[in-house]
Amino acid sequence: MDNVSKDYMIKLLEKGRRIDGRKFDEIRNIEISYDVSKHAEGSARVRVGDTEVLVGVKLEVGQPFPDKPNEGTIIVGAEMLPLSSPDFESGPPSIDSIELARVVDRAIRESKAIDLKKLCITEGEKVWMVLIDIYTINNQGNLQDAAALAALAALKQAKIPEYDGKKVDYSKRNNKLPIVSLPVECSVIKIKDNLLSDPNLDEEKIMDAKLTIGVTGDGEICAMQKGGKGILTIEDISKMLDISLKNSEKLRKLLK
Amino acid sequence: MYGKRIDGRDFDEIRKIEAKIGIVKSANGSAMFKIGDTIAIAAVRGPRDLYPKFMQNPKSGILRCNYNMMSFSVDERIRPGPSRRSREISLVTENALMPAVNLEEFPNAVVDVFVEIIQADAGTRCAGICAASLALADAGIPMRDMVCAVSVGKVGGKIVADINKYEEDYEDGSTDMPVAFLPRRNEISLLQLDGGIKKEEIIKALEMARKSCEKILEVQRKALMEKYQNG
Amino acid sequence: MGLVIKEKEFVIPGDVIAEGIDYLPAQGVFREGDKLIAEQIGIVHVDNRLIKLIPLTGTYSPKPGDAVIGQVVNISFNGWSVDIGFSNLALLSVRDGSSDFIERKSDLSRYYDFDDFIIAKISNVGKGNLIDLTMKGHGLMKLQGGMIIDVSPSKVPRIIGKQGSMITLLKELSGCKVTVGQNGKVWISGENSENVIEAIRVIEKESHQSGLTEKIEKLLGGK
């Protein structure tokens, strides 16, 4: 981010305005489209302003963890494609993409969004593995909230393929994946003393700190991640929670 | 059934094509290309500085392509990240586009082309090349011609254009031959083949590919006009 | 023989615009044998015997005499490296760094520091795209405060307007300082610069439509 614009943006914030004209607690326009890739058990594309993320869910038969012999498993991965930003490079997953995936994973796992017991095929031997892959298409800031929403949208739509004990028949998908709660993520950043929802890329580049908050349907917080190099006060966090609880309702409504 | 294919197409008929320009806003150029159920997107970034420096060419810019299939683009999930297959396709994609672009104006720089397959149903490398060519034109990279690509081949003894997934997996064996043309110059910049086929059949298939590429070019032209003439 | 594609028609790379030797290729057009062929997306423009394309897209290609906005990314003993949004960095030597004399061994960051934005003129484009800048000339300076936005370099002529008509309008109606670099970087400073940014986005999007001036006037609260 260039300094000229940084000074300008901070001056604007002091006047109570954001660079794209939004209110401080206002999120960008969101579009969700489903079924964007037919070989996936569930897939969704989410646009938050000009930020775009694609998520596909695949199901495979695998072994359960020894300590949870009757539960399916979840694996979340994220690829920050160099296609989506001049700042992303080819190669093994960057630390940012690992964080992106892990924070999406945390909200889904901790809110028990998927009824994993229903994904048991043979106790201790075979369970469904839910593989959630996130791909960034365009980065204009706040990939985190977009990815979490896209993951949830794809999960909600996902159907379980047929399995005869030997082979998975991906051409036949019947029952819906058992989704029992809807954890959405809402990020708020801090620039000087200003708290801004759903940061765009310019804002993200000059932020001091960020808090991503995962909220479940009943207003419960299921995940948090503080990001950025700066600090937050208890007062900040309290305000950020209020903002995110409010915005999370809007996101959940989009999922229907 | 005689005279028709499993999906009702004529032997020389390609699947339905759609193309759209400008799908990745932050890129210098981008496009989506859909043929049948195969969907490819491509984005161009650059010309930009090339690192490491020893890769730079002081006489011309270089073209660098990266082809990737999304993990969920097929039934059996693919592990994310590069594979031997995707590396080879990245290379042949680069070679297919190279003769079309002129990067002399950009010494020491690189033009990056990223191809992502969102949904795969045969012919992904060709769809990727068609999308990449559109993205390069959208980015304003000087080009001698567009690049159009299609997979032709032999299925059940018949020479066919634009092989679909079913034909590719045909149990009595099929021959798959991806071809890229610089359509106005009649130059071929991609040619691969696996299967078993006679010379005369290859020539017939190439002729079919050439005609198919003319159709692809018209779809590409329309997509570019849509973006630039109508705002 | 002659023109195959008419004036003002839309072309894509590889389209044959003319055949024979009556015409000469200019910007965006190349000759091969007896054919003149489009190298880019553009609109055909025939100027006497010259055929060129009015570009609709593309990156900035530096030309001597262009005023550009760039950012200082490195300082060495003999000058500054400046990012002008091109694949290669441009060089501003100590000698050309200011109209005033800069003493040898002085602290160059006192003139232009890291991350500073400057409006400079391209003095030379050498082989291998070695670009030299100069700060000697009217209006060339370090940019302080304000905001820089990126526009497509192909839209710069529309933002400047005929004989600078559009940019004059923008400045007069908004009261802001506005400077447009040929490299597609625009510097805006003053109260309500958001309105100017919005106006520039409208110009970018609707550059080919008529009634643009009226629309901009309305947007910026003019008559």
Query: What is the domain-level CATH number for residue B71?
Result: 3.30.230.70
d(CA A25, CA C109): 40
Is the backbone of residue B133 left (phi > 0), alpha (psi -120 to 50) or beta?
alpha
- Is residue B151 one of the residues assigned to a domain? yes
Interface of B with C in 134-163 (CB under 8 A): 137-146
Distance in angstroms (rounded) separating the CA atoms of residues B125 and B38: 10
Q: Say whether pLDDT at A1 is over 50.
A: no
Res C207 pLDDT > 80:
no
- Return the CATH number at A147: 3.30.230.70
**Rounded Cα gap, residues B110 and B115, in angstroms:** 16
Average pLDDT of A11-18?
Answer: 90
Cα separation, B8 vs B1, whole angstroms: 10
Q: Once rounded to an integer, what is the mean pLDDT over residues C92-119?
A: 87
> CA of A33, closest CA in chain C: separation in Å?
26
Cβ distance B111 to B61 under 8 Å? yes
> Residue A225's pLDDT band (boundaries 50, 70, 90)?
very high
> Which residue(s) pair with C42 in the sheet?
C11, C55
Contacts of A211 (CB under 8 A, 6+ apart): A187, A188, A189, A190, A224, A225, A226, A227, A232, A236, A237, A240, A244
* Rounded Cα distance, C53 and C177, in Å: 32
Alpha-carbon dihedral C51, C56, C57, C63, rounded to 10 degrees: 50
- Identify the bridge partners of residue C119 per DSSP, sorted by sequence position: C69, C141
Q: What is the pLDDT of residue A188?
A: 98
**B28, closest residue in chain A (CA to CA):** A86
Return the top range by mean pLDDT from A26-40, B38-52, C69-83.
Answer: A26-40
Q: What is the DSSP string of A156-181?
A: HH-EEEEE-SS-EEEEEEEEEP-B--
Which of B110, B140, B144 is facing C14, going by the closest CB pair? B144
pLDDT of res. B1: 46
Q: What is the pLDDT of residue B91?
A: 97
Residue A180 lies in a domain: yes
Q: Which of A3, A8, A12 sits opposite C115 (nearest CB)?
A: A3
Q: Which domain holds residue B139?
A: 17-226
CA angle C198, C202, C205 (to 5 degrees): 135
DSSP assigned state of C67: E
Give CA–CA dist C199/C170, Å, rounded.
8
> By C-alpha distance, which of B1, B34, B6, B8 is closest to B20?
B34
Buried b (16+ CB within 10 A) or exposed e, A221-251: bbbbbebeeeebeeebeebbbebbeebbeeb
For A79, nearest residue in chain B (alpha carbons): B80
- pLDDT over threshold 90, residue C221: no
Helix/strand/coil for A7: helix
C-beta atoms of B26 and A139 within 8 A: yes
- Closest among C109, C96, C204 to C158, alpha carbons compared: C204
Q: Which of A64, A94, A69 lies closest to A80 in space, CA to CA? A: A94
Is the residue at A130 inside a domain? yes
Q: Which residues pair with A136 in a beta bridge?
A: A53
Q: CA-nearest residue of chain B to C28?
A: B142
How large is the average pLDDT for residues B42-60? 88
Reply yes or no on whether the pLDDT at B230 is more than 80: no
How many Å apart are CA A98 and CA A91, to the nearest integer?
13
Q: Which of A2, A9, A21 has the CB atom closest to C71's CB atom?
A: A2
Is B6 inside any structural domain?
no
pLDDT tens across A24-75, in order?
999 999 999 999 999 999 999 999 999 999 999 999 999 999 999 999 999 9
Residue B21: phi, psi to the nearest 5?
-105, 150
Q: Where would I find the H helices in chain A?
A: 3-14, 95-110, 143-157, 201-206, 234-255
Contacts 24+ apart (CB under 8 A), A49-52: A49/A20, A49/A140, A49/A141, A49/A198, A49/A200, A50/A138, A50/A140, A50/B25, A50/B26, A51/A138, A51/A139, A51/A140, A51/A141, A51/A142, A51/A143, A51/A146, A51/A201, A52/A84, A52/A136, A52/A137, A52/A138, A52/A146, A52/B24
Q: Closest Cα partner for C59 from B62, B104, B47?
A: B47
pLDDT at C107: 86
Q: In A, what residues contact B, Cβ < 8 A?
A: 36-41, 43, 50, 52, 54, 56-58, 60, 77, 79, 81-86, 90, 92-93, 131, 133, 135, 137-140, 170-171
- Indicate yes or no: CB of C14 within 8 angstroms of CB of B108: no
- Find, among B147, B159, B146, B148, the residue nearest to B193 by Cα: B159
pTM of the model: 0.91
Closest chain C residue to B58 measured between Cα atoms? C128
Please, are residues A223 and A144 in contact by the beta-carbon 8 Å criterion? no
Model confidence at C33: pLDDT above 60? yes
Q: Which domain holds residue A190?
A: 28-255
- Beta pairing class for A126-138 and A120-122: antiparallel
Pick the residue with more confidence: C208 or B41? B41
Distance, CA of B47 to chain centre = 21
Q: What is the DSSP letter of B193?
A: -
Q: Give the separation between CA C188 and CA C201, rounded to whole angstroms.
A: 13
Q: What is the pLDDT of residue C223?
A: 46
The C-alpha torsion from C103 through C109 and C115 to C120, rounded to 10°, is -10
Taking an 8 Å cut-off on Cβ atoms, the answer to whether C14 and B182 are in contact is yes
Nearest-angstrom CA–CA distance, A67 and B93:
47
Mean pLDDT of chain A, nearest integer: 95
Q: Who wins on pLDDT, B229 or C156?
A: C156
Conformational region of residue A162, where left means phi above 0, alpha means psi within -120 to 50, and beta covers everything else? beta
SS3 content of chain B, % helix, strand, coil (to 5): 30, 30, 40
Cα B46 to Cα B29: distance, rounded to the nearest angstrom? 9
- Tell me how close the Cα of A134 comes to any Cα of chain B, in angstroms: 9
In whole angstroms, how large is the CA radius of gyration of chain B?
17
Any domain includes B8: no
CA distances to A31, A213, A255 from A248, in Å: 15, 9, 11
Q: C75 vs A38, B215, C72, C97, C145, CA distance in Å?
A: 53, 53, 8, 12, 21
> Mean pLDDT across chain B, nearest whole number?
94
For the cut 80, the answer to whether the pLDDT of residue C209 exceeds it is no
Stretch B153-171: mean pLDDT: 91
Total count of domains within chain B: 1
CA distance B190 to B201: 18
Domains of chain C (ranges, CATH numbers)? 2-55 (2.40.50.100), 67-143 (2.40.50.140), 147-219 (3.30.1370.10)
The bridge status of strand A42-48 relative to strand A30-34 is antiparallel
Q: Please name the residues between 86 and 115 in chain B that touch chain C, using a CB distance below 8 Å.
A: 100, 102, 105-110
For chain A, which chains pass the contact test of at least 3 CB pairs under 8 Å?
B, C
- What span, in angstroms and rounded, lies between the C-alpha atoms of C75 and B191? 49
DSSP A94-107: PHHHHHHHHHHHHH
- Which residues on B lie below 8 Å from C205 (Cβ)? 231
CA quadruple B78, B79, B84, B90: dihedral, nearest 10? 70
CB of B125 closer than 8 Å to CB of B94: no
Residue B160 confidence (pLDDT) above 50? yes
Residue B70 · residue B116 · CB < 8 Å: yes
Q: Taking residues C145-154, report their average pLDDT.
A: 87
pLDDT for residue C10: 95
Average pLDDT over residues C171-185: 93
Q: Please choose, from the candidates A142, A157, A126, A147, the residue with its C-alpha nearest in 3D space to the C-alpha of residue A40.
A: A157
Chain B, 165-194: which have a CB under 8 Å from a chain A CB?
none
Residue whose token pair is 């539960």: A71
Which of C59, C194, C196, C198 to mutate: most A Cβ within 10 Å?
C194
C143 CA to centre of own chain: 17
- Side-by-side strand order, sheet with B38-49: B17-21, B29-35, B38-49, B109-119, B62-69
Tokens describing residue B192? 């691969």
Whether residue C116 contacts residue C83, with contact meaning beta carbons closer than 8 Å, is answered with no
How many domains would you assign to chain A? Answer: 1
To 10 degrees, what angle do helices B199-229 and B124-138 make? Answer: 40
